[in-house]
Amino acid sequence: MAPQRILCVAEKPSIAKAVAQHLGGGRFITRNVRGNTFVKNYEFDFSFAQWGHCSVTMTSVSGHLTSLDFADRYKKWQTTPPGQLFEAETVIKIDAERKPIADNIQQQARYAKVLFIWTDCDREGEHIGSEVREQARKGNARITVKRARFSNTERTHVIQAAQNPIELDDRQASAVATRIELDLRIGAAFTRLQTLQLQHLGDLLADKVISYGSCQFPTLGFVVERYFRVKNFRPETFWSIKVTYLKEGVKVNFSWNRVHLFDRAVVTIIFEKCLDARLARVTKVQKKPTSKWRPLPLTTVELQMQGSRFLRMDSKKVMKIAEQLYQKGWISYPRTETDQFPPEFSLRSFIEKQTQDNNWGAYAQGLLDGAFRQPRQGRHNDQAHPPIHPVNYVTSSSLSDDERRVYEFVVRRFLACCSEDAKGEATDIEIEWGEEVFHAHGLLVLARNYLDVYVYDKWESSQQLPHFEIGESFEPTEANMMDGKTTAPGYLTEPELIGLMDANGIGTDATMADHVAMIKDREYVAARPKAGGGRNPVREFVPTRLGVALVEGYDNVGLDVSVSKPFLRKEIELKMKAICEGRKTRSEVVHESIEEYREVFGRTQRNIGVLKRSVRKYVFDEDVG
DNA sequence: GCAAGGTC
């Protein structure tokens, strides 16, 4: 009897190849798929515990297979009232460039007994799996469907996954289908409404698409909120007391525990009392070991934040470069939320590969020779990908300048994770002078450890404090009452923006940089290098007049929750979770959310004058009273 | 001409 055929389908070609290599034991045939240069079919034999000795075809899709759009009759902006898009008929299509991939799955499924899905183990992966299943059933209605549970492509892990198939999670797939439908309906309805209404207010906006999206608007909202905090900032004068004491040739500066107060008279009285007391007395002398923790394993969000801070590129660029490095096999998959390495992960073999480098090779060797520490475990695990790490060594001469910087960051971060924390000794001295308490803090770095390789962190010894005894008294060498002014916050920087998006659940690791780029493309915000940032300034975002007009306009339309706030997106996220946990169904959530947004939409439409006035005021400098 | 999410 001929062996059973099994069709395996991964989310992307790289996973298909890695899995084929492990299951095929290095022996497999590669076949091209007509019409697509990336997707390949790998054929090999494998003995499954469940299905016996089988002939396997391992292939992949390339992300989502289908897309959702409105039926043709709703395509014309002029003839479809935007509000109709909340209930307009939608169609699921397979775009022309994905047709060959879909056809391949149909054909391969025809003689297969089992469809074994190897998409990423996250929500989107579950949905992509359901798209694959749909195609496979078109070729073979009776095909058995299973899915693999895996979170990395290490050999033993892959084999373990192959031998323990589980079921596709339809709840997760329908949570994603819900998100897709809501994003389309809400995004398209608001985009058409505001574009059609605002476009002809003046030449500056003519032919411009003024888009709305559940992610791009809150992203804009963060930038505008900070802008107003800067704009409305009024400096306040404060007063403080500073004490210095010259001992053993060291000038020790003591800071006031109250930091500063905003009442000059009060500080003057306090200061007088101190002077009257004349002698200050040492009340606390403490030396204790301290440490600066090594960084956590690298996630995408962290790569984007640190990258836009230290590598002279924006988050979108960092992701593009990381993607290239991944495609070439130098680093692992760059889109991950996981900040913990699996326990069986072969960290040492990846460290080993870095020992040949001129800059950090000796450090890597030092780790292998005994300095290695198991990385800290963060609290995130997407169950799909390990933290970002170097997988192969590449010399800097074979990389572009940008690639070299990102690769170097990934390597240094990885080596730092596998290192000991930096160790130091902290000295704290407290004095009482009059009724006030002042303190001095000193740091002595004893062992730099991870800092030697992770050049992005700074931790330096301070000036060494002289010896003090508890109870010792002295007359301060100098004491001054100082005044100062509170300073305005800065505009939102790119790492801050990425951090806010992450904290508020706006976008995913793979899309955050896109949303940031989108609000720039739409000319809602402008990016510029932060002043005083030296040779390597971080970028900061300032909203354009249009960006301010939109946010302020919506804030005044009379909505319970403005669309520029992250709240509405968060709600969709919670509802997706409810679907995943079986507490709600797709149709319930679509119905609820559409009704909710229809209300927001209706109110916006009725008060469209408010939005228009805001645009006239900010974009066209008109006096709107 | 709309979104956000995958991916090349």
Q: Closest Cα partner for A98 from A65, A69, A59? A: A65
Which residue's CA is nearest to the C1' of nucleotide B8? A38
Which segment of A62-71, A236-245, A337-346, A539-548 scores lowest on mean pLDDT? A337-346
Q: Residue A623 class from Cβ within 10 Å (0-12 exposed, 13-18 middle, 19+ buried)?
A: exposed
Tokens of A262: 């905003």
Position with higher pLDDT, A111 vs A384: A111
What are the tokens at A292?
Answer: 């600066």
Tell me A417's DSSP state: H
The nucleotide whose C1' lies nearest the CA of A12 is B7
CA of A228 to C1' of B2 (A): 29
Helix (H) / strand (E) containing A423: strand A422-433
The pLDDT mean for chain A works out to 94
What radius of gyration do chain A's Cα atoms show?
30
Q: Are A28 and A20 in contact (CB under 8 A)?
A: yes
Q: What is the mean pLDDT of residues A528-556?
A: 91
The integer distance in angstroms from the CA atom of A334 to the C1' atom of B8 is: 14
Cα–Cα dist A67/A128, whole Å: 11
A333 is catalytic: yes
Q: State which H helix or E strand residue A7 sits in.
A: strand A4-10
Give A153's pLDDT tier (boundaries 50, 70, 90). confident
C-alpha span between A543 and A520 (Å, rounded): 9
Contact A66, A94 (CB under 8 A): yes
Higher pLDDT, A293 or A1: A293
Provide CATH 1.10.460.10 ranges for chain A. Answer: 174-232+491-618
Using CA atoms, how far apart are residues A84 and A89, in angstroms rounded to an integer?
10
Which CATH number is A300-417's, of 1.10.290.10, 3.40.50.800, 2.40.30.10, 1.10.3720.10?
A: 1.10.290.10
Distance of alpha carbon A597 from alpha carbon A185, whole angstroms: 10
If you average pLDDT over residues A21-30, what whole number do you get? 93
Q: Which of A202, A280, A210 has the alpha carbon at shortest distance from A241? A: A280
Instruction: Classify domain A237-292+425-485 at the CATH class level.
Output: mainly beta
CA distance A550 to A560: 16
Given this model, what pLDDT does residue A129 score? 98
Of residues A515, A409, A499, the one with CA closest to residue A455: A409
Residues 37-56 of A with CB under 7 A from strand B: 38
Return the beta strands (E) in A18-84 as ranges: 29-33, 36-48, 52-60, 67-70
Residues 90-119 of A with CB under 7 A from strand B: 97-98, 101
Instruction: Decide: CB of A64 under 7 A of nucleic strand B.
Output: yes
Which nucleotide is nearest, taking the CA of residue A66 and each C1'?
A: B6
Indicate the fold that domain A4-168 takes in CATH. Rossmann fold (3.40.50)
Residue A396, pLDDT > 70, answer yes
Q: pLDDT tens digits, residue range A349-383?
A: 999 999 999 999 999 999 999 999 999 999 999 88
Tokens of A555: 């804030």
| Mean predicted confidence (pLDDT) in A312-330 | 92
CA-to-C1' span, A151 to B3 (A): 29
Coil vs helix vs strand at A295: coil
Closest CA to the C1' of B6: that residue is A63
The predicted-structure confidence for A219-238, as pLDDT tens digits, reads as follows 999 999 999 999 999 999 99
The residues near A208 (Cβ < 8 Å, ≥ 6 apart) are A195, A199, A523
Cβ partners under 8 Å of residue A391, min gap 6: A329, A330, A331, A332, A350, A353
In this prediction, residues A437-445 reach a mean pLDDT of 96
Residues of chain A (517-576) having a beta carbon less than 7 angstroms from strand B: 518
A173-177, A507-511, A518-522: segment of lowest average pLDDT: A507-511
Residues 182-221 of A with CB under 7 A from strand B: 183-184, 187-188, 191-192, 195-196, 199, 207, 209, 211-217
Greater model confidence, A200 or A129: A129
Tell me which residues from 329 to 358 on chain A have a beta carbon below 7 angstroms from nucleic acid strand B: 335
Between the CA atoms of A413, A414, A417 and A420, what dihedral angle is there, to the nearest 10 degrees? Answer: -90
Distance A415 CA to B5 C1' (A): 32
Q: Specify the pLDDT at position A3.
A: 83
Instruction: Give residues with Cβ within 8 angstroms of A91, minimum separation 6.
Output: A68, A69, A70, A71
Å from A542 (CA) to B1 (C1')?
A: 26
Name the protein residue, with chain letter, whose CA is nearest the C1' of B1: A209
Average pLDDT over every residue of A497-515: 94
pLDDT higher than 70, residue A625: no
Identify nearest nucleotide to residue A515 by CA to C1′ distance.
B4
Contact, A80 CB vs strand B, < 7 Å: no
CATH code for the structural domain at A174-232+491-618? 1.10.460.10
| CA gap A464, A444 in Å, rounded | 7
Three-class SS of residue A69?
A: strand
Q: What is the pLDDT of residue A457?
A: 95
| Range 423-482, chain A: CB under 7 Å to any strand B atom | none
The closest nt to A192, taking CA to C1', is B2
Instruction: Give the containing element (helix H, strand E) for A446.
Output: strand A436-447
For strand B, is any atom closer than 7 Å to the CB of A33? no
User: Looking at residues A567-583, what average pLDDT do you find?
Assistant: 93
Which has the closest alpha carbon to A60: A14, A25, A29, A126? Answer: A14
Kindly name the residue from A333, A450, A454, A491 that is annotated as catalytic: A333
Residues of chain A with CATH 3.40.50.140: 4-168
Give ranges for CATH 1.10.290.10 in chain A: 300-417
How many of the other CB atoms lie within 10 Å of CB of A63?
A: 14
**Residue A330 confidence (pLDDT) above 90:** yes
Q: Which of strand B's nucleotides are less than 7 A from any protein C-beta?
A: 1-8
Considering only residues 127-166 of chain A, list those whose CB is below 7 Å from strand B.
128
Cα gap A327→A8, rounded to integer Å:
22
Strand partners, A420: none
Q: Which two tokens stand for residue A256?
A: 């006031």
Tokens in use for A41? 């079919």
Structure tokens belonging to residue A40: 């390949």
Provide φ and ψ at A575, rounded to 5°: -70, -35
CB neighbour list of residue A134: distance below 8 Å, 6 or more residues apart: none
Of all nucleotides, the one whose C1′ comes closest to residue A186's CA is B3
For the CA of A576 and the C1' of B6, the distance in angstroms is 17
A619, exposed or middle or buried, with CB in 10 Å at 0-12, 13-18, 19+?
Answer: buried
pLDDT of A2 over the 80 cut: no
DSSP string, A345-364: --HHHHHHHTTT-TTTHHHH
Range of weakest confidence among A69-83, A97-111, A260-274, A553-567: A553-567
Percentage of the residues of chain A whose pLDDT score is greater than 70 = 100
- Residue-wise pLDDT for A72-97, tens only, equals 999 999 999 999 999 999 999 999 99
Using C1' positions and the CA of A215, the closest nucleotide is B4
Query: Which structure tokens are listed for A471?
Result: 């109870």
DSSP A130-146: HHHHHHHHHH-TT-EEE
**Residue A510 approaches strand B within 7 Å at CB:** yes
Ranges in chain A annotated CATH 2.70.20.10? 237-292+425-485
State residue A533's pLDDT score: 74
Task: Read off the pLDDT of residues A116-138 as tens digits, 9 standing for 90 and up.
Answer: 999 999 999 999 999 999 999 99
Report the distance separating Cα A552 and Cα A227, nearest Å.
12
Q: Which of residues 229-268 of A touch strand B (CB under 7 A)?
A: none
Task: Point out the residue nearest to B4 (C-alpha to C1').
Answer: A183
State how far the Cα of A463 lies from the Cα of A390, in Å rounded to an integer.
Answer: 38
Nearest nucleotide (C1') to alpha carbon of A509: B5
Query: Which protein residue has its CA closest to C1' of B7?
Result: A63
